[in-house]
Amino acid sequence: MNLSRKWLNEFVKVDIPDREFAEAMTLSGSKVEGTADLGADIKHVVVGRILSMERHPDSDHMWVCQLDVGKDESVQIVTGAWNIHEGDLVPVALHNSTLPGGKKITKGKLRGVMSNGMLCSLSELGLDERDFPYGVITAAALLNDYKPIDPAKPSIPADIQPGHKIFGPVVAAKVLECMPLGDGSYHTCMEVKDGTVCPDIHCDNVHVGDMVAYNEKTDDICTLADLHAEQREFPHCIPDGIFVLQEDCKPGDDIKAVTGQDDHVVEFEITPNRPDCLSVIGLAREVSATFDTPLTLHEPVVKGGADGALTDLLDVETPAADLVPRYTARMVRNVKIAPSPKWMRERLRAMGVRPINNIVDITNYVMLEYGQPMHAFDYRYVNGGKIIVRRAEDGEKLTTLDGKEHILNANHLVIADEGRAVGLAGIMGGLNSEIVADTADVVFESACFDGTCIRKGALALGMRTEASAKFEKGLDPMNTLPAVNRACELVELLGAGEVVDGVIDILNNVPQPWTVTMDPEKVNALLGTDIEAVDMYQLLERVEIHTKEKNFPNGPAQVVIPSWRGDVRRLADLAEEVARFHGYNNIPTTLMRGQTTQGGYSPVQKLENKLGELCRTCGYSEIITYSFISPAAYDKILWGKDDAHRKSFKILNPLGEDTSIMRTTTLPSMLEVLGRNWNNRNKAVWLYELGRIYMPKTPSKPMDADDPALAGSKAKLEGIGLAGLTEAVVDAVNELGRDDGLAMEAQILTLGGYGGGMDFFTMKGAVEAVMKGIRAKDVHFEACTEDPSYHPGRCAYVYSGTDIVGVFGQIHPQAARNFGVDGELYCAELSFDELLIAQGADPEYAPLPKFPAVTRDIAVVCGEGVTVGALETAIRKGARGLLKDVALFDIYRGKGIGEGKKSVAFNLTLRSDDRSLTGEEADEDVKSILETLEKDCGAVLR
């Protein structure tokens, strides 16, 4: 909401700099977003009177002007504009002046003649003809400016003389005299063949000595259009030029005051609870309360007296009374559509509204001033003089002012006559009743419509307007009458028409004044303050909240809330009003008292923190990715078309396809980040994220893992190797007892990386470190060949006991390419819920070994198909109770080892807890181990 400080000053006088004003308003609750000095860019631009004009000695189109700029000496300025005349008042940018856009003007020579500044056009002042409609320039076709398109075949001879016929009634005429009349027209005398003619003309570029095309029939001179000429034929006869002022001003005046650009505008952020502040008066109330300065409101006075009785002319019915709390209307006759006066245009412009014509401007002016949307429509299109505010019929059509046709239904509220709709209530008027140049009789509508109905209607039609935005917040029904009267008062003030006596005012649902019990003690208890009761009542009075007696009692009392403060409904709201004007920053600061509570992290949060620490220790940095992905992401990670796991929460109104579904896997998010880093040529990238997936589910009662309702998600989980998650799903469902259509939001610890030595075993090392870090028991790995996102030969499940905790390995090269990576990517996906289950108990100290260990290295040769895991299993199986540790230290293939075979070397640690082992004892165990290796794995000592 923009506020003109000039307009504001009409209601409450506050004369302090913008910054202080903004600060004070912000601290009382009207947040200022910014302030603007409308004329900040304009410096040293003054009004000048053209004393004399001479054609430039060295140019065919420039003028040398002497100007009175209010100083002792006149100023000489050269201009190329043709629309000025001696005696004109024009904006003069003096030497060293600035114009909007930071343009600097300095003196200089133009073709050898000194020019001490510049005369300004409307646009050079940052204005256009909507701000000053009289600034429109009409250009005559000056024959002395004629440049034939084909120099060999001119349409007008270069030596044309006064009286020569051009075509039809159009003859050449030489201007002998041209006198501005001060209203944009000129008195002229011109020489034609048989003497002189003296038409009053409206073309602005005519001067003594010019040759013009004179139409004897219309007694006017011709424009380019009249001659059907092209612009290039008359290069200097253009509808542009200097802004010739018709304002009440004198040479030397600062142009900003003349054009109304001396205003300051303050932009407020208005919260949805304060629709009353979407108006000058509403903000004036806040300003008055903030600065404790009197508010002077103005009671509109309408003279009336136009012909006819309102009741004969207009009848209003509101069959949809539930949607129309109040409907107020007045009529204006014999309307003269014209531009609004400057003061009105200035104010509209300052508030960001473009002036159009007096009637439309009045409705906008009242909307800005009172916050009450007004609509004006042409009476002649209200058939039968009857306005009916009703629900639209299904399929009813209406074309609104913006030229768009809408098909309506019973949810829309329309303003109609007996036959058809003429406007969308509270949203936009109909094209069929628009105010046009020949409108004679106007109906002003000032109504209060149901906010929800307007909001839904505007939303459904995709046309939120300034009016609908106001209505949907719920307007003060007490405002319609003063607003319509103000509009009529302005009509009379502007001489825009005659107001018919009387008002049509239908009150369907106007609430009684709201009262609240004010309890100063409770307010102090809530705020933590110690404000005197009397002071509180005085603070409330600033916002026109009074006791019925308008006194300041020293205890609880009923207070009456003004009609425009629909947001003040109970004591807490009064506390806020008191606090606002007492000053939030005057409320003391205290620390919490009361019962102490035990804070801290839950076991889940502790594990979250722990996992993050472990990943970082392993060299992985944390990332944060979006929870929503593109449905195509499932294709990119090579999931089957009918993979049940694709079933995702789908956002109905996403920002775009890329962020349209809630992920059921974190893998694409990680791969996208890896791809982006790859693309940015980052060499070593190791990342982790503990992020959620969102699984659809609709269980209705406590369930166990065999519940058929879970079959789908079980299969899905198994599909990505997270079968163990099922248990967590069941737990979560039962724990939360959700039957609410929400998601199962499970966390996944995702690791991903490339470069810096990353390979399968590096990733496996990280997974092992995580499992070790949480003291998971019985961790083992099995090859996984079926996960479509991973390399079928470099992928494994990680188990804790019989539960699959997750899957990891090299990303399938095709999937990697889908993310723009032409190299090896490695990822791990671990279920947080499974990690929580796998987490071991707090450690208990075990005594350090008292006796030395014996170590033995063995190397066995076996077939390629035998896994190290199988060999280890055999070693542990074969040991006779002394084996404490097995460590792989070498795998060798090649010379000395048969084709299709490998040599695998282990370091064995053997120890007894109750004695020092002898070499023989150790050898016994090793012997047994070797036998088992041979028996179970066909592995023989090398």
Of residues 237-276, which lie at the interface with another protein (CB under 8 A)? 271-274
Strand partners, 413: 391
Site for another protein in 657-676 (CB under 8 A): 659, 662, 673, 676
Decide whether 595 or 802 has the Cβ nearer to another protein.
595
What is the smallest separation between the CB atom of 717 and another protein, expressed in angstroms?
Answer: 19
Task: Please select the residue that binds another protein; options are 605, 698, 700, 918, rule is CB under 8 A.
Answer: 605
What is the smallest separation between the CB atom of 267 and another protein, expressed in angstroms?
Answer: 12
Under 8 Å between Cβ of 782 and 800:
no
User: Of 152-160, 420-428, 448-456, 870-878, which segment contacts another protein by CB under 8 A?
Assistant: 448-456
Strand partners, 546: 560
Site for another protein in 188-247 (CB under 8 A): none
What is the smallest separation between the CB atom of 615 and another protein, expressed in angstroms?
Answer: 6
What is the smallest separation between the CB atom of 599 and another protein, expressed in angstroms?
Answer: 4
Decide whether 626 or 851 has the Cβ nearer to another protein.
626
What is the smallest separation between the CB atom of 833 and another protein, expressed in angstroms?
Answer: 13
* SS3 sequence of 694-732: EECCCCCCCCCCCCHHHHHHHHHHHHCCCCCHHHHHHHH
Whole-angstrom distance, CA of residue 805 vs CA of residue 588: 53
Under 8 Å between Cβ of 474 and 566:
yes
Please spell the DSSP secondary structure of 41-110, one letter per residue. T-EEEEEEEEEEEEE-TT-SS-EEEEEE-SSSS-EEEEE--SS--TT-EEEEEEEEEEETTTEEE--EEE
What is the smallest separation between the CB atom of 403 and another protein, expressed in angstroms?
Answer: 24
For the four alpha carbons of 556, 558, 561 and 567, in that order, the dihedral sign comes to positive
Site for another protein in 556-575 (CB under 8 A): 567, 570-573, 575
Task: Please select the residue that binds another protein; options are 194, 225, 653, 735, rule is CB under 8 A.
Answer: 653
Site for another protein in 275-334 (CB under 8 A): none
Taking alpha carbons only, the member of 380, 370, 398 closest to residue 331 is 380
Taking alpha carbons only, the member of 557, 576, 559 closest to residue 567 is 576
| Site for another protein contains 451 (CB under 8 A) | yes
Whole-angstrom distance, CA of residue 216 vs CA of residue 204: 20
| Site for another protein contains 459 (CB under 8 A) | yes
What is the smallest separation between the CB atom of 740 and another protein, expressed in angstroms?
Answer: 6
Decide whether 88 or 450 has the Cβ nearer to another protein.
450
Decide whether 284 or 882 has the Cβ nearer to another protein.
284
Whole-angstrom distance, CA of residue 669 vs CA of residue 676: 11
Decide whether 598 or 802 has the Cβ nearer to another protein.
598
What is the smallest separation between the CB atom of 504 and another protein, expressed in angstroms?
Answer: 29
Decide whether 272 or 919 has the Cβ nearer to another protein.
272
Q: Which residues contact 670 (CB under 8 A, 6 or more apart)?
A: 623, 625, 687, 689, 750, 751, 752, 827
What is the smallest separation between the CB atom of 633 and another protein, expressed in angstroms?
Answer: 15
What is the smallest separation between the CB atom of 744 and another protein, expressed in angstroms?
Answer: 9
| Site for another protein contains 900 (CB under 8 A) | no
What is the smallest separation between the CB atom of 116 and another protein, expressed in angstroms?
Answer: 36
Strand partners, 694: 745
Under 8 Å between Cβ of 878 and 929:
yes
| 545, two tokens | 């909240």
| 277, two tokens | 């502040």
Decide whether 741 or 894 has the Cβ nearer to another protein.
741
SS3 state of residue 593:
coil
Site for another protein in 529-548 (CB under 8 A): 529
Under 8 Å between Cβ of 181 and 187:
yes
Decide whether 274 or 764 has the Cβ nearer to another protein.
274
Strand partners, 12: none
Site for another protein in 690-749 (CB under 8 A): 692, 694, 740-743, 745
Whole-angstrom distance, CA of residue 65 vs CA of residue 55: 9
Under 8 Å between Cβ of 840 and 774:
yes
| 693, two tokens | 């997936």
Helix axes 533-542 and 571-582, enclosed angle (nearest 10): 90
Q: Which residues contact 65 (CB under 8 A, 6 or more apart)?
A: 50, 51, 52, 53, 76, 77, 78, 79, 84, 119
CA distances from 556 to 535, 552, 569 (A): 13, 10, 16
Decide whether 685 or 776 has the Cβ nearer to another protein.
685
Q: Which secondary-structure segment (H or E) carries 870? A: helix 868-878
Under 8 Å between Cβ of 523 and 556:
no
What is the smallest separation between the CB atom of 564 and another protein, expressed in angstroms?
Answer: 16
User: Of 119-127, 612-620, 859-867, 912-920, which segment contacts another protein by CB under 8 A?
Assistant: 612-620
Decide whether 236 or 274 has the Cβ nearer to another protein.
274
User: Of 43-51, 379-387, 543-551, 577-585, which segment contacts another protein by CB under 8 A?
Assistant: 577-585
Site for another protein in 631-650 (CB under 8 A): 649-650
If binding means CB under 8 A, how many residues of this protein chain bind another protein?
92
Task: Please select the residue that binds another protein; options are 167, 343, 584, 761, rule is CB under 8 A.
Answer: 584
Whole-angstrom distance, CA of residue 836 vs CA of residue 770: 12
Task: Please select the residue that binds another protein; options are 194, 550, 585, 920, rule is CB under 8 A.
Answer: 585
| Site for another protein contains 600 (CB under 8 A) | yes
| Site for another protein contains 472 (CB under 8 A) | yes
Under 8 Å between Cβ of 438 and 357:
no
| Site for another protein contains 527 (CB under 8 A) | yes
Decide whether 508 or 659 has the Cβ nearer to another protein.
659
Site for another protein in 10-69 (CB under 8 A): 19, 26-29, 31, 34
What is the smallest separation between the CB atom of 575 and another protein, expressed in angstroms?
Answer: 6
Under 8 Å between Cβ of 835 and 917:
no
What is the smallest separation between the CB atom of 370 and another protein, expressed in angstroms?
Answer: 22
| Site for another protein contains 651 (CB under 8 A) | yes
| Site for another protein contains 620 (CB under 8 A) | yes
Site for another protein in 738-767 (CB under 8 A): 740-743, 745, 756
Decide whether 407 or 525 has the Cβ nearer to another protein.
525
Helix axes 520-527 and 533-542, enclosed angle (nearest 10): 90
Strand partners, 211: 174
Task: Please select the residue that binds another protein; options are 102, 109, 438, 598, rule is CB under 8 A.
Answer: 598
| 718, two tokens | 């198994």
What is the smallest separation between the CB atom of 698 and another protein, expressed in angstroms?
Answer: 11
Task: Please select the residue that binds another protein; options are 246, 625, 867, 873, rule is CB under 8 A.
Answer: 625
| Site for another protein contains 591 (CB under 8 A) | yes
Decide whether 96 or 605 has the Cβ nearer to another protein.
605
Task: Please select the residue that binds another protein; options are 242, 266, 607, 685, rule is CB under 8 A.
Answer: 685
What is the smallest separation between the CB atom of 302 and another protein, expressed in angstroms?
Answer: 35
What burial letters (b/e) apply to 21-43, b meaning 16+ CB within 10 Å? bbebbeebbbebeebeebbebbb
Task: Please select the residue that binds another protein; options are 77, 105, 382, 618, rule is CB under 8 A.
Answer: 618
Decide whether 444 or 688 has the Cβ nearer to another protein.
688
